[in-house]
Amino acid sequence: QTIFEGGMTAKDVVGQSVATIARLADLPIPEGTKVILAKADGPGEADLLSKEKMCPVMAVYGYTTFDEALSIAQTNLELEGKGH
């Protein structure tokens, strides 16, 4: 993946613009795009996208109930989000 190398955030994407990240990933995006949304396979350890990325890429998750959404958020918080 472009965003992660060996399970860690790739140094080439930290603090970079959407255009730069899209170019590195060979991803066509409309001009003026401010954030890249990427569908994650699951929360926490289920997908690297759940980790901190330090770039304008956000993971999105499917859910059916509010409680499920809270569980996803809590799982991701437990992964790398505490202390920020």
pLDDT of residue 16: 96
Segment 49-70 mean pLDDT: 95
Which secondary structure element, helix H or strand E, spans residue 76, and what is its range?
Answer: helix 66-76
pTM for the full predicted model:
0.84
pLDDT at 73: 94
Instruction: Decide the pairing of beta strands 8-9 and 4-5.
Output: antiparallel
pLDDT at 40: 96
List pLDDT tens digits, range 19-59: 999 999 999 999 999 999 999 999 999 999 999 999 999 99
Tell me the pLDDT of the chain averaged across its residues.
Answer: 93
How far is it, in rounded angstroms, from Cα 71 to Cα 74? 5
Confidence (pLDDT) at 83: 66
Distance in angstroms (rounded) separating the CA atoms of residues 84 and 20: 25
**Can you read off the two tokens belonging to residue 84?**
């920020």
Of 32, 35, 27, give the one whose Cα is nearest residue 1.
27
